[in-house]
Amino acid sequence: MSASAADVSFAAPPARLVVGLGRRNAIGIVAPSYGSEKVSYGLAPAGYTFHKIARVPLQRFERSGTFWHQTPLLLDYPVALMHTFNELPLGVRPFVVSFENELPRYLGEPAAWQLDAGYALIASSRCRGVLALSEAASAGLRHRLVARGLGELESKVSVFRGSVLAPPGESSRRVRAPCDPLRVLFVGRDALRKGLPPTLDALDACAAAGARIEATVVCDFAPYTYVGTWTADDTARTVQRMRAMPGLTYHERLPNAEIHRLMRSHDVLAFPTLDESLGWVAIEAAMAGMPVLSTDIFAIPELVLDGRTGRLARLDKNESNRWVGLWLRGVAFDEALDVAFATIRTMLVEALLAFAERPDEVRALGDAARAHVGALYDFADAQRTLAALYADAIGGDPGRVATTAN
C-alpha cells in the first residue's frame, strides 16, 4: 500500500549546481515540476544527489512550435546522469527521460527535421532509458518506433510510474450516512476538454430526477484549448450557469491543500476528460478514497477499473486509445463532440443516481480505488526501482535500464 503524506514526503526541488563541482552519483534536473518530482528528485533514492542544471535559453528565440522548449541545450555540468521530464536534452552527459504521453514531444506541427532530431536523441548512446508513465504511453512510443524502422530501440522503453502520495488527513475522510446528499467534486482546467459541459448537464438531470446531490467545481478556464473552441462568452455563460445551480459551489482556483481537503469531504470525482496525458487528479482522488467517473481514453483505464474502482464512459478512439475527435475539424468535430458528450452524460447520470441511493457502494468503490492506485504508486517500491534504474544507466549499458523497471 502506498505511504501517506504523514509517513513520507517528497524531497524539495534541487538547488542549482555550481559549475566545476563534481559529485559522484549526481543526477541533473533541468526543470523541477509537479510531474518530475514524482519520478525523480522527489523520491530521493538512496545514494544519489539531485542538482538543478541551467539550460542555454534558446527557447526564448523560438517564434513558433516548442522544439527548443522540449530540447534543452545543456552545458557540460559534472553530473553522472541527467533525468529529464518530457524533454530530450542536447549535451554530452547521458540521460534518462520520463514522459507522460508522446516522445518526442513537440506540440503543434513540428518540422520533419525536428522529429528526426528527437528520434536521433533517443537512438543515441547518451539515452540510457526512456521511462513511460503508463502502459499506454509505452505502447504508443513502441508503435511509433517500429513504424519509423527503429524497432531496435524498443529495448530502451519501459514503464516507471513513480509515486503519488495520498492526500493527508485520512482520519478526516467523510463517512456518508444514507440520509446525506452525495457530494461530487470536479477539478480541472480547460473546461471543454475536461468534460465540464456534460457534467453540468448530468447534475441538472439528476436534480430533475429528485436525487440529493451537492457539487463543487474548481475550474480555471484556460484561454486556449486544442480541443474545439471555448470563447470568453462561453466562459461567462458557464460561470453564470454554475452560480445559478442549486447545491453547486464554484471556485475559479484553489491551492493544492484546499483541493486535498475537498477530496476528503466529497464522495466521488467527476473527471470525464476527452484527452489526458496521464490523469494526476484522478490518481490523487483515488488515493483519497474516491471513486472516479471518467472516460476510457489513453491511460485512464489503468487508473480507473470500470465497475471496480469507478465508472468509465466508452468513447470512440483511435489505435492509440485517444478520442478520435482530436484529429477532426469543422462539422465532423462538432458531430464527434456531440456523441462524446452524450455518452459521458449517460454514464454520469446512471452512476450518480445509483451512488446517491447507495452510499455503501460508493465507500466500497473508494476503498478499492485507493488500494489499486496505492499499489501502482507505492513510494518505497518507486524509490528502490529508481535507484536500480540509475545504477544501470550510470553503468553505461543502454539496454539494461528497461529490464530493471519492468
Rounded to an integer, the average pLDDT of 6-25 is: 72
Measured CA to CA, the distance from residue 8 to residue 168 in angstroms comes to 11
Residue 62 has a pLDDT of: 80
Looking at 23-27, 92-96, 348-352, 396-400, which range is the least confident one? 396-400
Q: How many CA atoms lie within 13 A of 197 on its CB side?
A: 15
pLDDT in tens, 183-204: 999 999 888 899 999 999 999 9
Residue 19 lies in a domain: no
Residue 406 has a pLDDT of: 42
**Residue 17: band (very low, low, confident or very high) from pLDDT cuts 50, 70, 90:** low
Range(s) of the domain holding residue 47? 26-163+378-405
Q: Is 266 exposed, middle or buried (0-12, 13-18, 19+ CB in 10 A)?
A: buried
Residue 80 lies in a domain: yes
Measured CA to CA, the distance from residue 115 to residue 247 in angstroms comes to 49
Residue 403 has pLDDT above 60, yes or no: no
Nearest to 92 by CA among 110, 100, 80, 106: 80
Give yes or no: residues 147 and 183 share one domain: no
Concatenated DSSP letters for 157-203?
EEE-----PBPS-GGG-----TTSPEEEEEE-SSHHHHTHHHHHHHH
| CATH number for 368 | 3.40.50.2000
Give yes or no: residues 202 and 348 share one domain: yes
How many structural domains is the chain composed of? 2
Give yes or no: residues 209 and 79 share one domain: no
Average of per-residue pLDDT values in the chain:
90
Give yes or no: residues 133 and 52 share one domain: yes
Residue 13 has a pLDDT of: 86
pLDDT in tens, 213-222: 999 999 988 7
Query: C-alpha angle 280/281/282, rounded to 5°?
Result: 90
Residue 170 has a pLDDT of: 61
Ramachandran assignment for 65, one of left (phi > 0), alpha (psi -120 to 50 degrees), beta (any other): left
What is the CB neighbour count within 10 angstroms for residue 229?
A: 9
Measured CA to CA, the distance from residue 159 to residue 97 in angstroms comes to 11
Give yes or no: residues 34 and 78 share one domain: yes
Give yes or no: residues 69 and 147 share one domain: yes
Residue 337 lies in a domain: yes
Residue 255 lies in a domain: yes
**Residue 402: band (very low, low, confident or very high) from pLDDT cuts 50, 70, 90:** very low
Give yes or no: residues 372 and 382 share one domain: no
Place of cell 459551489: 249
Whether the Cβ atoms of residue 108 and residue 135 lie closer than 8 Å to each other: no
Does 6 or 337 have the greater pLDDT score?
A: 337
How far does the chain reach from its first CA to its final CA, in angstroms? 19
Give yes or no: residues 368 and 384 share one domain: no
Residue 292 has a pLDDT of: 98
Does 22 or 33 have the greater pLDDT score?
A: 33
Give yes or no: residues 260 and 145 share one domain: no
**What size, in residues, is the chain?**
406
Residue 12 lies in a domain: no
Measured CA to CA, the distance from residue 10 to residue 379 in angstroms comes to 9
Give yes or no: residues 269 and 400 share one domain: no
Q: At what angle do helices 359-376 and 280-287 cross, to 10 degrees?
A: 120
Residue 202 lies in a domain: yes
Give yes or no: residues 230 and 320 share one domain: yes
Q: What is the pTM of this model?
A: 0.91
Residue 384 lies in a domain: yes
Give yes or no: residues 49 and 143 share one domain: yes
Residue 221 has a pLDDT of: 84
Rounded to an integer, the average pLDDT of 44-56 is: 92
Rounded to an integer, the average pLDDT of 258-262 is: 94
Residue 6 lies in a domain: no
